[in-house]
Amino acid sequence: MASLSEEVLLVLKKVRQRKQDGTLYLMAERIAWGPEGKDRFSVSHLYADIRCQKISPDGKSKIQLQLVLHTGDSTAFHFSNDSTALKDRDAAKELLQQLLPKFKKKANKELEEKNRMLQEDPVLFQLYKDLVVSQVISTDEFWANRLGDTNNSDSSLSNNKQEVGISGAFLADIRPQTDGCNGLRYNLTADIIESIFRTYPAVKQKYNENVPHELTEKEFWTRFFQSHYFHRDRINTGTQDIFSECGKQDEIGLKSMVVQGVKNPLVDLLSLEDKTLDEGYGVCTTMPSTSNRTVKDSSNSAIIKRFNHHSAMVLAAGSGKGETAGDPASETSCTDGNSRDSDFFQPPVKKAKLQEAIEYEDLKKEKKPKTIPLNLKKSDRYAHGPVPLQSQHYSTSQDIINSLNYIRHEMVNYKPNLTQVLCSTTASSAIAALSPGGVLMQAVTQQAINQMVPTDVQGELKHLYAAAGELLRHFWSCFPVNTPFLEEKVTKMKSNLERFQVSKLCPFQEKVQRQYLSANLTGHLEQMLQTAYSKFHVWQTRRMLRKT
């Protein structure tokens, strides 16, 4: 056996893999399978490589366990021991369930990150293929710069990444389904659990306290759904319920939210009324006292409270920090403990809100710089560009005569401003440059290139540009060369560039020539490389001089 020193946690016989009988070993760090009668493993996966496990549904004739690896490959094991197949499978599953998460955390984060980056960015992926796979530069070199970038921006990136809010109805999504025999089945996903935790921190706390030492995860959720905390409107079933505390905590949370008061004075119902009538005055001040409310009533009002709390929590969870950090205005009112003292801070908010409330935007002249609206007489002409004049738009002969007369009249009165004219040579060269075929008019022919060159060549050219750009970026980023590391790097990059030219650019040039494509497609690329080389030479000679 490969390494007997390894601790074997579980051995399962009669497990088939690829129609071959064998034995499954679960060891401390890997899972392995060897065909019957051979003393080496034909399948061996480190736990760290395993992304997840899947099992065949209950009731299926084949009892299987599938391992999916990070690479995307998967291996399936078929438990074929008739009597104990199910038990075997479950034993393997349970053990894996415990083992995998431990290794998951260890799994190479960086690798994942790289993988993710390559997947998210097709250009980068292409670059990777061009440079690394074809061994122009090494993987490390490729990533050295990249990851540096990402690491710097990483923290901000992950912060910038918008936090996903919580659906308001996540509890509705866990509709219980009857399983046919007097039981209910709740389907929980990781998302829902996360939602529950974010919305009800008290439950999360309970979870951390009780799982896994007191309860298994399953038991925990079973209790959660049985608890009156979930069915809050129902009457409390027992006091030993672990969630009864959560209910209380939520109540406290709600109260503290209420006590904190509101920042917007326009929605503060408490200070709305200016002079409330004293107790005893007024037509109907006798509110039904709370004592003689029926049980039903109070359960109804509990529902209402719960909805308010739930929505507030969902909102807070969605807006990130929510009320914990909040903006300075809320902090002041928190620290003061009473809202009246924060008087000094209130007016700006209040003023702004009041101004907002009395504003009639349409009565005012718009203050913003007046933009000139695009006045299109024929919007289709704007959309489709100029089209040949329709015959009915031809001018009448009278018009032509008129305009001719007009031009003649203009010409008669024309007086050249001789101090500001060009000399005749410059003028003629300018005319030549602007005539078709001239220097400045070449763009016209250039445009045709994307029709002349087949698309595959175009694509290749693009990739070459990207790769060259990347290499050149590396190269130029070394300047000014002021550390030995950079010196080393710049020489390496130069050789990389040369290698690139030989292994990538030259074949492409040949290919282009083979296809008799006249235009010098790679000219610019070469030019860029030459610039880099000359820069390198200048640097090198200067260094030599300094050394001598």
Partner 1 sequence: MKLNIDGLLVYFPYDYIYPEQYSYMLELKRTLDAKGHGVLEMPSGTGKTISLLSLIVAYQKAFPLEVTKLIYCSRTVPEIEKVVEELRKLMEYYSKQTGESNNFLALALSSRKNLCIHPEVSALRFGKEVDGKCHTLTASYIRAQRHSDSSVPVCRFYEDFDAVGRQVPLPAGIYNLDDLKDFGRRKGWCPYYLARYSLLHANIVVYSYHYLLDPKIADLVSKELSKNSVVVFDEAHNIDNVCIDSMSVNISRRTLDRCQANVDTLQNTIQNIKETDANKLNMEYRRLVEGLKEANVARETDVYLANPVLPDEILQEAVPGSIRTAEHFVRFLKRFLEYLKSRLRVHHVVQESTPQFLKDIFDKVCIDRKPLRFCAERLQSLLRTLEIADIADFSAITLISNFATLVSTYSQGFTIIIEPFEDRTPTIANPVLHFSCMDPSIAIKPVFQRFQSVIITSGTLSPLDIYPKILDFRPVTMASFTMTLARTCLCPLIVGRGNDQVALSSKFETREDFAVIRNYGNLLLEMSAVVPDGIVAFFTSYVYMENIVASWYEQGILENIQRNKLIFIETPDAAETSMALEKYQEACENGRGAILLSVARGKVSEGIDFVHHFGRAVIMFGVPYVYTQSRILKARLEYLRDQFQVRENDFLTFDAMRHAAQCVGRVIRGKTDYGLMIFADKRYARADKRGKLPRWIQEHITDGSLNLTVDEAVQLSKHFLRQMAQPFRQEDQLGLSLLTLEQLESEEMLKKISQIAHQS
x-marked contacts with partner 1 along 295-324 as a string, rule CB under 8 A? -xx-xxx-xxx-xx--xx-xx--xx-----
Q: Judged by CB under 8 A, which stretch of 30-38, 187-195, 342-350, 401-409 contacts partner 1?
A: 342-350
Which tokens hold the place of 16?
């088939």
CA distance 401 to 177: 88
Nearest to 51 by CA among 103, 92, 93, 1: 103
DSSP assignment letter at 223? H
Query: Binding partner 1 by CB under 8 A: which of 30, 114, 263, 494?
Result: 263
Asked if 362 interacts with partner 1 (CB under 8 A), we say yes
For residue 270, the minimal CB distance to partner 1 (Å) is 5
Residue ranges in 139-168 that form contacts with partner 1 under rule CB under 8 A: 165, 167-168
Determine if 268 is a binding residue for partner 1 (CB under 8 A): yes
Taking the complex as a whole, the smallest distance from the CB of residue 315 to partner 1 amounts, in Å, to 5
Q: Which of 280, 416, 436, 484 binds partner 1 (CB under 8 A)?
A: 280
> CB of residue 188 vs partner 1: minimum separation in angstroms?
16
Q: Are 137 and 131 a contacting pair, CB within 8 Å?
A: yes
Q: How far is CA 525 from CA 132, 323, 450, 506, in A?
A: 20, 56, 17, 11
Q: Quick one: which of 4, 190, 287, 412 contacts partner 1 (CB under 8 A)?
A: 287
In the complex, what is the shortest distance from the CB of residue 285 to partner 1, in angstroms, rounded to a whole number? 6
Q: Is 415 exposed, middle or buried (0-12, 13-18, 19+ CB in 10 A)?
A: exposed
Q: Which listed range, 288-296, 424-432, 470-478, 491-499, lies at the site for partner 1 (CB under 8 A)?
A: 288-296
363 near partner 1, judged by CB under 8 A: yes
* Cis preceding linkage at 328, omega within 30: no
Does 376 bind partner 1 (CB under 8 A)? Our answer is no
Q: How many residues does the chain have?
A: 548
- Scanning 125-133, 358-366, 385-393, 527-535 for contacts with partner 1 by CB under 8 A, the matching segment is 358-366
Among 240, 289, 324, 419, binds partner 1 (CB under 8 A): 289
Q: Which stretch binds partner 1 (CB under 8 A): 118-126, 152-160, 181-189, 268-276?
A: 268-276
d(CA 299, CA 232): 8
The encoded tokens of residue 410 equal 């203009």
Structure tokens at 402: 């008129």
User: Rounded to an integer, what distance in angstroms lies between the CA atom of residue 233 and that of residue 302?
Assistant: 6
Neighbours of 495 (CB within 10 A): 12
121 binds partner 1, rule: CB under 8 A: no
Max Cα–Cα distance, the chain, nearest Å: 113
Shortest reach from residue 167's CB to partner 1, in Å? 7
Residue number, 59 or 280, with CB nearest to partner 1:
280
Q: How far is the CB of 328 from partner 1 (least distance, A)?
A: 17
User: Smallest distance, Å, CB 272 to partner 1?
Assistant: 5
Q: Which candidate, 137, 194, 129, 120, places its Cα nearest to that of 163?
A: 194
Would you count residue 9 as binding partner 1 (CB under 8 A)?
no
**Residue pair 240/312 in contact by the 8 Å Cβ criterion:** no
Contact between 177 and partner 1 (CB under 8 A)?
no
Binding range to partner 1, per CB under 8 A, among 208-216, 222-230, 273-281, 401-409:
273-281
d(CA 419, CA 299): 95
- Cβ 431 vs Cβ 463: under 8 Å: no
Applying CB under 8 A, among 4, 172, 181, 443 the residue interacting with partner 1 is 172
**Rg of the chain over all Cα atoms, to the nearest angstrom:** 38
Residues 6+ apart with CB under 8 A from 198: 166, 204, 317
CB of 159 to partner 1, least distance (A): 18
135, 264, 405, 446: which one contacts partner 1 (CB under 8 A)?
Answer: 264
Distances (CA, A) of 357 to 263, 348, 350, 361: 16, 14, 10, 11
Residue 309 tokens read as 């709390």
Cβ proximity to partner 1: between 82 and 279 the closer is 279
Task: Choose the stretch contacting partner 1; rule: CB under 8 A; options: 79-87, 364-372, 422-430, 508-516.
Answer: 364-372
Site for partner 1 in 226-255 (CB under 8 A): 233, 254
Cβ proximity to partner 1, 289 vs 455, nearer residue: 289
**Shortest distance, position 374 Cβ to partner 1, whole Å:** 14
Closest listed residue to residue 110, CA positions, set 134, 140, 130, 138: 140
Give the Cβ contact number of residue 326 at 10 Å. 16
Residue 189 touching partner 1 (CB under 8 A): no
User: 181, 284, 411, 545: which one contacts partner 1 (CB under 8 A)?
Assistant: 284
* Residue 262 touching partner 1 (CB under 8 A): yes
**Helix (H) / strand (E) containing 338:** none
